[in-house]
Chains A and B, each alone.
Chain A
Amino acid sequence: KAGVTQTPRYLIKTRGQQVTLSCSPISGHRSVSWYQQTPGQGLQFLFEYFSETQRNKGNFPGRFSGRQFSNSRSEMNVSTLELGDSALYLCASSLALGDTQYFGPGTRLTVL
């Protein structure tokens, strides 16, 4: 069974731009979570989606948003990029809410 896939793997943007990251969960998984990893803050929870609805949200500004489609694929969007948004963005999928999360390889975002 294929794992969680994320595209693109690497991305370079400039301040003020916006970016959209994509995540395809493991087949049959219906819940998708997003995390941000930075050297200073470590791994931090962004949000979680299940059945196309956001079920949980972390402590991030409104510039960070996401959505989930009917096929469980998910996208996250960051608007008005700041230098501090440079990070590894990880997507994780699980069968349902509360089940073990399996992570993708991440998207490395660099904001210049």
Chain B
Amino acid sequence: DQQVKQNSPSLSVQEGRISILNCDYTNSMFDYFLWYKKYPAEGPTFLISISSIKDKNEDGRFTVFLNKSAKHLSLHIVPSQPGDSAVYFCAASAGGAQKLVFGQGTRLTINP
């Protein structure tokens, strides 16, 4: 029973364009959502989060959108840079950022 799903295992985007990573969840109790980036041989790096009382949160080039009715969130990266190439995980939790449930990850490749 996968409560958090990232249906695209990989995504390829040209440098300078927008990268959009998607995530769906099934548990209506989830009220906090996060995105992490992971390079090989490193732990996940926190990128951005959003609570269920908001539908958008921005931090520099990164914006997360939350659609509660569709149980869907997305991460937009604008403009995409070569250093953004990594695996991106979305995570969800109930009651703050604890006991995180992760998606399977999407490998983003930024092409020059």
Query: Which of B21-29, B38-46, B53-61, B72-80 touches A?
Result: B38-46
Can you list 28 A-B contacts with CB-CB less than 8 angstroms, sorted by A residue number? A4-B43, A33-B98, A35-B100, A35-B102, A42-B103, A42-B104, A42-B105, A43-B100, A43-B102, A45-B101, A48-B99, A56-B99, A94-B98, A97-B96, A97-B98, A98-B95, A98-B96, A98-B97, A100-B49, A100-B97, A101-B100, A102-B46, A103-B36, A103-B43, A103-B44, A103-B46, A105-B41, A106-B43
Q: Does A81 contact B (CB under 8 A)?
A: no
Interface residues of B (CB under 8 A from A): 32, 34, 36, 41-46, 49, 89, 91, 95-105
Whether the pair A90, B97 counts as a contact (CB closer than 8 A) is no
For A33, A43, A48, which residue has the most chain B Cβ atoms within 10 angstroms?
A43
Whether the pair B97, A101 counts as a contact (CB closer than 8 A) is yes
| Contact-residue bracket for chain A | 20 to 34
Q: Does A104 contact B (CB under 8 A)?
A: yes
What 6 pairs across the A-B complex have the smallest Cβ distances?
A: A98-B96, A103-B43, A43-B102, A56-B99, A103-B44, A105-B43
Interface residues of A (CB under 8 A from B): 4, 31, 33, 35, 42-45, 48, 55-56, 58, 90, 92, 94, 97-106
| Residue from A45, A98, A105 within 8 A of B42 (CB atoms) | A105
Whether the pair B102, A101 counts as a contact (CB closer than 8 A) is no
